């Protein structure tokens, strides 16, 4: 617990008291307390800092901190929770404080909206504005309703979440610029981008300087070219970048020895941290962005990296993509004790041996089979499968039985010339009735058959499930391509009974695809976790239509890791002969 987090809690109490109509003197006391803790050293383990004052009972020596607030802060630091705060929330919706962030909605108006229109969050507020219900309330009117609507729009423009395919490259570009500076020792992208979340609200960068290096050049490089400077201090800065438009990016520069704890802290997730802190307190430890320290005397543990961070908590290392409080903490503790199966051995780039789902000029690809083979070999892969489209996908040209025969000759020649194993395959369309776009006598001659939907995404759930179940029961199908058909931000997942279909894949041996097209990331991490539960195999696929898209492998791996995909279930995490034997 840091002074900043204490201050945030006190401000939350002040806002809740305002909503409840408490007197302004009481509200001001908590705001003053928040200001007092913000003035403390941000490092809770610093001499005279937060932990020392809690330990010595000297919180009331801080100007602006009375006995009542000191008792609450002590409870918060020692237990991680505050009963008084929980009580304040008992009769309010969890989105109540978001309402007062909207220009035109103060605490009194927010409370009336909650009580009289059952508004519980920003989505509810937007709905009642759209329905014209606010103007009907006494004391509001049409002008007030319009002002609130405009306030929502302004707030959304600066707080909208962007898809990972936009945010991750932006974060990596910013980081590369900073890492090129001579005074920088280490740096990393943190936050939900590092956890490979599908959408992100902002960017977080952590940087450690070399001994004796100055911080100003780092700050200058980070802020250079920003669309807007939000704030800049001694070791932190916040900006809005131009692309993606208005996305906030935050930089924190830390001292030597603090990089690992800062990186862990700012990676999140919040839920993971809450449970981790509770566990740390049971061990007599406290966690912050600055250090892991002993509660008893404030002494710091030496933490060189995140593996040592978890070891200090008597835990096995947890990969960033898993830190969402989906049971990873319990499994990590059990693994450290030598009990149970432990955490999944999540797939890594080095584990993937074959490149699946590759298109060429034989259908809608930009490059030849040889181009794609050389790109796969340069990426360190030992084999690839060529899987061009059939007629129903709408590409021209497309694969027919005759053209597959012609393509086989070119594949053999490329394999010889490039020195990489090339498997014959096809991405065959699933037709409306669940049959496939090529006859079985053709499909059985191929090494790899990917069955995919490209049309009729709008069928109802029952009809779509029946259609897919028929296709996935075909004995020649090895992979279910981009299963839900979603496009992040533009097309919702196709309606189907996914639990039933994943169970069918586990039974038939069909691998569900984790498609690395950045705009797809299909299957989602949530469904990949379910695939793990039922024991379905997974294909880490690139869906490459150009040689540069071999790098889609990284997008697929990140999503697969977030989905708890262990390497043993990944069909292309093995050499070609082993891959082919999976269906024999």
pLDDT band at 158 (very low <50, low <70, confident <90, very high): low
DSSP 88: H
* pLDDT tens string 237-248: 999 998 888 899
* Helical residues (DSSP H) of 383-496, grouped into ranges: 401-418, 440-443, 461-472
Residues 539-564: what's their mean pLDDT?
97
* pLDDT tens string 509-520: 999 999 999 999
Query: How many Å apart are CA 137 and CA 128, to the nearest integer?
Result: 11
User: What stretches of 290-444 adopt beta strand conformation (E)?
Assistant: 292-294, 354-358, 383-389, 421-429
Facing residues of 241 across strands?
247
* pLDDT tens string 309-359: 999 999 999 999 999 999 999 999 999 999 988 999 999 999 999 999 999
Residues 378-391: what's their mean pLDDT?
96
Residues 228-239: what's their mean pLDDT?
93
Residues 553-559: what's their mean pLDDT?
97
* pLDDT tens string 298-317: 889 999 999 999 999 999 99
Cis? peptide before 339, omega within 30° of 0: no
Sign of CA dihedral 560, 565, 569, 572: positive
pLDDT band at 479 (very low <50, low <70, confident <90, very high): very high
Locate the domains of the chain by residue range.
Answer: 3-89, 96-159, 162-256, 270-336, 349-581
Print burial letters for 142-157: b (CB count within 10 Å at least 16), e (below 16): eebbebbbebbeeeee
Share of the chain above pLDDT 90, in %: 73
How far CA 396 is from CA of 313, 359, 365, 465, in Å, comes to 58, 13, 10, 29
* pLDDT tens string 1-14: 788 889 999 999 99
Q: What is the pLDDT of residue 258?
A: 92
Mean pLDDT of the chain: 93
Residue 284: closest CA among 259, 301, 304: 301
184-189 and 202-209 as β-strands: parallel, antiparallel, unpaired?
antiparallel
Residues 286-307: what's their mean pLDDT?
92
Confidence check: pLDDT of 76 > 80: yes
Instruction: Return the CATH superfamily for domain 270-336.
Output: DNA polymerase, thumb domain (3.30.210.10)
Q: What is the pLDDT of residue 20?
A: 85
- With tokens 């009769």, the residue in question is 91
At the top level of CATH, the class of 96-159 is: mainly alpha
DSSP-based three-state secondary structure for 542: strand
Q: Is CATH 3.30.460.10 what the domain over 162-256 is classified as, yes or no?
A: yes
- With tokens 């609450």, the residue in question is 72
- With tokens 């992100």, the residue in question is 200
Residues 437-443: what's their mean pLDDT?
96
Q: For residue 293, what are its two tokens?
A: 């320290």
DSSP-based three-state secondary structure for 369: helix
* pLDDT tens string 460-473: 999 999 999 999 99
Q: What is the pLDDT of residue 392?
A: 87
Beta-sheet strand order (sheet of 247-254): 184-189, 202-209, 247-254, 236-241, 228-232
Chain centre to alpha carbon of residue 55: 37
Q: What is the pLDDT of residue 345?
A: 95
How far CA 365 is from CA of 308, 360, 369, 546, in Å, comes to 46, 4, 9, 6
Q: Do domains 3-89 and 96-159 have the same CATH topology?
A: yes
Cis? peptide before 269, omega within 30° of 0: yes
Residue 28: closest CA among 45, 10, 40: 10
pLDDT band at 407 (very low <50, low <70, confident <90, very high): very high
Instruction: Return the CATH superfamily for domain 349-581.
Output: Metal-dependent hydrolases (3.20.20.140)
DSSP-based three-state secondary structure for 548: helix
184-189 and 228-232 as β-strands: parallel, antiparallel, unpaired?
unpaired
Confidence check: pLDDT of 569 > 90: yes
Confidence check: pLDDT of 159 > 70: no
Query: How many Å apart are CA 203 and CA 167, to the nearest integer?
Result: 7
Residues 378-390: what's their mean pLDDT?
97
Q: What is the pLDDT of residue 30?
A: 92
Instruction: Decide which of 137 and 159 is more confident.
Output: 137
Torsion angles phi and psi, residue 489, rounded to 5: 85, -10
* pLDDT tens string 25-47: 888 899 999 988 988 888 888 88
pLDDT band at 21 (very low <50, low <70, confident <90, very high): confident
The rounded radius of gyration (Å) of the Cα atoms in the chain is: 28
The pTM of this model reads 0.84
Facing residues of 389 across strands?
427
DSSP 349: G
Of 132-141, 170-179, 418-427, 479-488, least confident by mean pLDDT is 132-141
Q: Which fold does the domain 3-89 belong to in CATH?
A: DNA polymerase; domain 1 (1.10.150)
């Amino acid at each position: 617990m840091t002074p900043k987090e204490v201050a945030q809690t006190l401000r939350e109490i002040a806002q809740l008291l305002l909503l409840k109509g408490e007197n302004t003197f009481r509200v001001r006391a908590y705001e003053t307390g928040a200001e007092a803790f913000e003035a403390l050293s941000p490092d809770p383990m610093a001499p005279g800092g937060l932990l020392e004052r809690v330990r010595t009972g000297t919180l009331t020596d801080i100007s602006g901190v009375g006995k009542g607030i000191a008792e609450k802060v002590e409870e918060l630091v020692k237990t991680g929770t505050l009963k008084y705060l929980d009580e304040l929330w008992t009769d309010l919706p969890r989105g109540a404080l978001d309402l007062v962030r909207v220009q035109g909605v103060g605490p009194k108006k927010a409370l009336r909206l909650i009580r009289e229109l059952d508004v519980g969050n920003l989505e509810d507020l937007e709905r009642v504005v759209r329905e014209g219900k606010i103007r009907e309330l006494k004391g509001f009117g049409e002008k007030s309703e319009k002002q609130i609507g405009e306030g929502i729009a302004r707030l959304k423009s600066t707080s909208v979440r962007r898809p990972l395919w936009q945010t991750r490259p932006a974060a990596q570009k910013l980081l590369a610029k900073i890492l090129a500076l001579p005074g920088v020792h280490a740096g990393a992208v943190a936050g939900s981008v590092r956890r490979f979340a599908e959408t992100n609200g902002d960017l977080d960068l952590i940087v450690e300087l070399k001994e004796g290096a100055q911080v100003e050049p780092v700050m200058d490089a980070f802020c250079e070219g920003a669309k807007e400077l939000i704030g800049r201090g001694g070791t932190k800065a916040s900006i809005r970048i131009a692309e993606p438009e208005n996305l906030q990016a935050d930089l924190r520069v830390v001292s030597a020895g603090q990089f690992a704890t800062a990186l862990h802290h700012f990676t999140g997730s919040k839920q993971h941290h809450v449970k981790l802190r509770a566990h740390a307190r049971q061990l007599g430890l406290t966690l912050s962005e600055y250090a892991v320290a002993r509660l008893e005397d404030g002494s710091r543990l030496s933490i060189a990296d995140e593996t040592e961070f978890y070891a200090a908590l008597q835990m096995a290392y947890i990969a960033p993509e898993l830190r969402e409080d989906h049971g990873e903490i319990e499994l990590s503790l059990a693994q450290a004790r030598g009990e149970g199966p432990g955490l999944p051995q999540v797939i890594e780039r080095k584990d993937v041996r074959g490149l699946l789902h590759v298109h060429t000029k034989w259908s809608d690809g930009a490059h030849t089979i040889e181009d794609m083979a050389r790109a796969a070999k340069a990426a360190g892969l030992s084999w690839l499968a060529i899987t061009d489209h059939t007629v129903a996908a709408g590409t021209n040209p497309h694969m027919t039985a005759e053209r597959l025969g012609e393509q086989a000759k070119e594949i053999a020649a490329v394999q010889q010339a490039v020195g990489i194993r090339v498997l014959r395959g096809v991405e065959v369309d699933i037709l409306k009735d669940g049959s496939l776009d090529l006859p079985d006598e053709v499909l059985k001659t191929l090494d790899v058959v990917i069955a995919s939907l490209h049309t009729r995404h709008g069928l109802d759930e029952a009809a779509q499930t029946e259609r897919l179940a028929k296709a996935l029961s075909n004995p020649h199908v090895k992979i279910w391509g981009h299963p839900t058909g979603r496009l992040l931000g533009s097309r919702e997942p196709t309606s189907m009974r996914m639990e039933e279909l994943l169970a069918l894949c586990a039974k038939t041996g069909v691998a569900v695809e984790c498609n690395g097209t950045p705009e797809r990331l299909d299957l989602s991490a949530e469904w990949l976790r379910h695939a793990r539960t039922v024991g379905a195999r997974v294909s880490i696929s690139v869906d490459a239509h150009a040689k540069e898209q071999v790098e889609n492998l990284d997008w697929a791996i990140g999503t697969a890791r977030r989905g708890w995909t262990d390497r043993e279930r990944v069909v292309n995490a093995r050499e070609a002969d082993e891959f082919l034997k999976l269906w024999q």
